[in-house]
């Protein structure tokens, strides 16, 4: 469907496939780039999305689709949040107004959506390894298509990217890696590799001269002399430039190149497409190019909600978010406890640790897109008596499970793992939903795990974590606005493993975890209207469970209902069911949560309605179960 707010401009309206991009004259390309930016700026103002990254790769995507031919040639985008331009050129321009909307196209590459999406993604560090794997498969099949992985400089701090980089020359015959250098991932890139890429200098003239010189020497004096000359040239180059790093990995380097110069990008990409070697093309782009609010604030416009096109302003939330509550509360705790440190992996603004950084810059650490390193880094600090709080989105904390088990829990190191965006992350879809952390982590010994029902309880739980010095602890909290309650002036630690009884009496016990307590309250009210009285328990702790409370209500009630913003399989409800089963208590447990399938993108209300997690749908499930028990 067309976007409801505008018609596609003329050049873009005529592009039904990459062949139409190829058919344009070079003189038309600047106008096409301008139209793409116009469409992105206007459409995303309504839908929200990753504006700044896509504005930065407009010319690159034009050049890629003029030189290469998808789906035969394979173009992979790391994270793939910068694939909107690619989608515009591969038959999805009329649907751009539906991006990230329920039933619309995804905000990331998705193989089931288009044959032009060579590899689905949503996390950093996938494009290089997947591209090398595709290239290796191509070589085995005796084929000759091109494989191109577009990787941002921020992803070069990601362990999988470096592992893939190490294996290119030994795994494939030819491969093209495009380093999209804009000095940003979500926030400004940090670390030695970021400084390294900033230091790279123009060397394509040197490359041309090198090849001419080597060929001349070979004709004049033979291959053996040529090889000796090549070694001398490489050694000399290493003395004057840091590019020997790529040479040692078996990659031929081109660049840096202006990533907004379509003509030059085309020329270099055509050269790369014809060469039987491993190439890294280093391009320099500007994140947010063409829209001043995005260039001035690329962090805000990396992933943005609705905004005013004229000035870039976004609606201010009426209620403080869980992330902001976390940032504020941790900063206040740190004012009284110099042992507290804060660590994140390239997301200080998203986790609101930028609040902490402003007040305590020496105790704040952003290690880049390196979640595994961040976890062990935190463990190292914990061995020296510090209290590290590691804040990472739940969907990215999945990468840290080995470290949580092997490095933190096994050694009883008191690292505080703080999982933002736990539960549904609506518009971003299955790559970003935090629906699996409980299942992955609750089996780990020596771990305390909790979830607050509102932002005030989040503060109390952070204070609780600060008292836990004998083992690791984890807290999960949702994306977006809190319940609107007042924050405590002085948060108090909670008793470990103790639930909170909000309504004591009833034939049905509603045991709710975290933000599902508000849903449980609505369910209780609806059932009361049907003459069914319900007890309501705020679980607070996932591990350890409040066994005494749960067993008491299991023996008193006809039905126990668990509610969680998490997958049902292996989740909180499973833990409750296991507890009752081990005690030979046969009270039925009805588990409410997300089913055994990946959840698509859409609004919170739309997804809960489709998957049966609205109060009305839950009441229907409870009523049906009670009738079956009669």
Number of residues that make up the chain: 630
Q: How much is the pLDDT for 65?
A: 98
Do residues 197 and 209 both lie within one domain? no
Do residues 215 and 146 both lie within one domain? no
Taking residue 238's Cβ as centre, other Cβ atoms within 10 Å add up to 14
Q: How much is the pLDDT for 193?
A: 47
Q: How much is the pLDDT for 377?
A: 97
CA 393, 397, 400 angle in degrees (round to 5)?
160
- Provide mean pLDDT across the span 77-84: 92
* Token digits of residue 171: 């795994």
- Provide mean pLDDT across the span 81-94: 95
- Tell me whether residue 187 is in a domain: yes
Residue 371 falls in the annotated catalytic set: yes
Do residues 331 and 251 both lie within one domain? no
- Tell me whether residue 208 is in a domain: yes
- Provide mean pLDDT across the span 535-556: 97
- Which residue's structure tokens are 């992996």? 345
Residues 6+ apart with CB under 8 A from 134: 74, 76, 118, 119, 147
CA 603 vs CA 271, 344, 552: distances in Å: 45, 27, 38
Do residues 209 and 342 both lie within one domain? no
Tell me which of 100, 110, 138, 287 is the catalytic residue. 287
Summarize pLDDT for 164-210 with one digit per residue, the tens: 999 999 999 999 999 998 864 445 544 554 454 444 433 444 444 44
At 273 the three-state DSSP class reads: helix
Do residues 450 and 461 both lie within one domain? yes
Do residues 221 and 268 both lie within one domain? no
- Helices assigned H by DSSP within 241-261: 244-248
Q: How much is the pLDDT for 199?
A: 45
DSSP track, 506-518: -SEEEEE-TTHHH
Residue 287 falls in the annotated catalytic set: yes
- Provide mean pLDDT across the span 585-608: 95
Residues 122 and 623: beta-carbon distance below 8 Å: no
How far, in whole angstroms, is CA 97 from its chain's centroid?
A: 22
Q: How much is the pLDDT for 256?
A: 84
- Tell me whether residue 427 is in a domain: yes
- Tell me whether residue 5 is in a domain: no
- Please, is 179 exposed, middle or buried when counting C-beta atoms within 10 Å of its C-beta (0-12, 13-18, 19+)? buried
CATH assignment of the domain containing 505: 3.40.50.920
Q: How much is the pLDDT for 617?
A: 98
Residues 6+ apart with CB under 8 A from 239: none
Q: How much is the pLDDT for 406?
A: 96
Domain count, the chain: 4
Q: How much is the pLDDT for 253?
A: 87
* Token digits of residue 346: 């390239």
Q: How much is the pLDDT for 156?
A: 81
**Composition of the chain by helix, strand, coil, percent to 5:** 45, 15, 40
Query: Which one-letter DSSP state was computed for residue 364?
Result: E
Q: How much is the pLDDT for 301?
A: 84
- Provide mean pLDDT across the span 563-577: 98
Q: How much is the pLDDT for 131?
A: 95
Average pLDDT, the chain: 90
Tell me which of 35, 266, 371, 372 is the catalytic residue. 371
Tell me which of 174, 399, 442, 591 is the catalytic residue. 399
Tell me how far apart the alpha carbons of residues 213 and 207 are, in angstroms, rounded to a whole number.
10
CA 473 vs CA 72, 146, 214, 331, 356: distances in Å: 48, 47, 60, 18, 20
Do residues 44 and 145 both lie within one domain? yes
Do residues 156 and 30 both lie within one domain? yes
Do residues 236 and 362 both lie within one domain? no
Do residues 92 and 159 both lie within one domain? yes
- Tell me whether residue 304 is in a domain: no
Phi, psi (deg, nearest 5) at residue 168: -55, -55
How far, in whole angstroms, is CA 569 from its chain's centroid?
A: 22
Phi, psi (deg, nearest 5) at residue 113: -90, -35
* Token digits of residue 195: 């400084």
Do residues 147 and 167 both lie within one domain? yes
* Token digits of residue 286: 């500007």
> Per-residue confidence at 218, pLDDT binned at 50, 70, 90?
low
Is pLDDT at 238 greater than 70 in this prediction?
no
Tell me how far apart the alpha carbons of residues 153 and 146 are, in angstroms, rounded to a whole number.
22
Summarize pLDDT for 413-440 with one digit per residue, the tens: 999 999 999 999 988 999 999 999 999 9
Tell me how far apart the alpha carbons of residues 520 and 522 are, in angstroms, rounded to a whole number.
5
CA 612, 613, 614 angle in degrees (round to 5)?
100
- Tell me whether residue 309 is in a domain: no
> Per-residue confidence at 317, pLDDT binned at 50, 70, 90?
confident
CATH assignment of the domain containing 326: 3.40.50.970
pTM of the complete model: 0.87
* Token digits of residue 290: 């063409």
* Host domain of residue 118: 10-201+246-296
Angle between helices 29-47 and 58-67 (to 10 degrees): 120
Helix (H) or strand (E) holding 335: helix 322-336
Strand partners, 475: 418, 450
Q: How much is the pLDDT for 159?
A: 84
Looking at 4-13, 337-346, 499-508, 509-518, which range is the least confident one?
Answer: 4-13
- Tell me whether residue 549 is in a domain: yes
- Tell me whether residue 311 is in a domain: no
- Higher confidence at residue 303 or residue 338? 338
Do residues 448 and 534 both lie within one domain? no
At 353 the three-state DSSP class reads: coil
């Amino acid at each position: 469907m067309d976007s409801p707010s505008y018609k596609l401009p003329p050049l873009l309206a005529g592009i039904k496939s990459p062949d139409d991009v190829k058919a344009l004259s070079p003189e038309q390309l600047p106008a096409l780039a301008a139209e793409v930016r116009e469409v992105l700026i206007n459409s995303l103002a309504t839908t929200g999305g990753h504006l700044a990254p896509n504005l930065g790769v407009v010319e690159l995507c034009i050049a890629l689709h003029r030189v290469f031919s998808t789906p035969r040639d394979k173009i992979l985008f790391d994270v793939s949040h910068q694939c909107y331009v690619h989608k515009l050129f591969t038959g999805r321009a009329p649907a751009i107004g539906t991006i990230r909307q329920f039933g619309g196209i995804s905000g990331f590459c998705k193989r089931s959506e288009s044959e032009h999406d060579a590899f689905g993604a949503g996390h950093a560090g996938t494009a290089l390894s997947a591209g090398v794997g595709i290239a290796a498969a191509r070589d085995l099949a005796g084929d000759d298509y091109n494989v191109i992985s577009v990787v941002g400089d921020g992803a070069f701090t990601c362990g999988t990217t470096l592992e893939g980089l190490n294996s290119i020359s030994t795994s494939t015959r030819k491969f093209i890696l495009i380093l999209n250098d804009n000095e940003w991932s979500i926030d400004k890139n940090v670390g030695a590799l970021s400084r390294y890429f900033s230091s790279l200098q123009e060397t394509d003239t040197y490359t041309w001269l090198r090849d001419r010189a080597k060929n001349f020497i070979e004709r004049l004096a033979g291959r053996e002399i040529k090889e000796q000359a090549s070694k001398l040239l490489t050694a000399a180059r290493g003395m004057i430039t840091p590019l020997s790093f790529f040479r040692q990995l078996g990659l031929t380097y081109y660049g840096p190149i202006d990533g907004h110069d379509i003509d030059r990008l085309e020329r270099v990409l055509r050269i790369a497409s014809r060469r039987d070697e491993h190439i890294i093309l280093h391009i320099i782009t500007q994140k947010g190019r063409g829209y001043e609010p995005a260039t001035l604030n690329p962090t805000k416009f990396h992933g943005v909600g609705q905004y005013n096109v004229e000035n870039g302003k976004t609606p201010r939330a009426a209620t403080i978010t869980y992330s902001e509550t976390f940032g504020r509360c941790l900063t206040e705790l740190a004012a009284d406890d110099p042992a507290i440190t804060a660590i994140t992996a390239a997301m200080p603004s998203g986790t609101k640790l930028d609040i902490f950084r402003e007040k305590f810059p020496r105790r704040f650490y952003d290690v880049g897109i390196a979640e595994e390193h961040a976890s062990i880094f935190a463990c190292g600090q914990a061995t020296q008596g510090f209290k590290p709080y590691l804040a990472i989105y739940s969907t990215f904390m999945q990468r840290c499970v080995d470290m949580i088990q092997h490095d933190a829990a096994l050694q009883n190191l008191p690292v505080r793992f703080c999982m933002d965006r736990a539960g549904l992350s609506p518009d971003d879809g299955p790559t970003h939903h935090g629906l699996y952390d409980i299942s992955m982590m609750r089996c780990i010994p020596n771990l305390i795990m909790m979830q607050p029902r509102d932002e005030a309880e989040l503060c109390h739980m952070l204070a609780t974590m600060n008292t836990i010095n004998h083992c690791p602890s984890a807290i999960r909290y949702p994306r977006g606005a809190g319940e609107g309650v007042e924050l405590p002036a002085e948060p108090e630690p909670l008793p470990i493993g103790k639930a909170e009884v909000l309504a004591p009496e009833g034939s049905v016990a509603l045991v709710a975890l975290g933000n599902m307590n508000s849903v449980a309250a609505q369910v209780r009210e609806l059932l009361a209207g049907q003459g069914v009285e319900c007890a309501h328990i705020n679980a607070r702790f996932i591990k350890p469970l409040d066994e005494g409370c749960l067993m008491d209500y299991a023996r008193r009630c006809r039905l126990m209902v668990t509610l969680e913003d998490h997958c049902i399989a292996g989740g909180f409800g499973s833990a409750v069911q296991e507890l009752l089963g081990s005690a030979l208590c046969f009270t039925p447990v009805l588990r409410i949560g997300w089913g055994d399938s990946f959840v698509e993108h859409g609004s919170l209300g739309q997804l809960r309605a489709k998957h049966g997690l609205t109060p009305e749908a839950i009441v229907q499930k409870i009523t049906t179960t009670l009738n079956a028990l009669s």
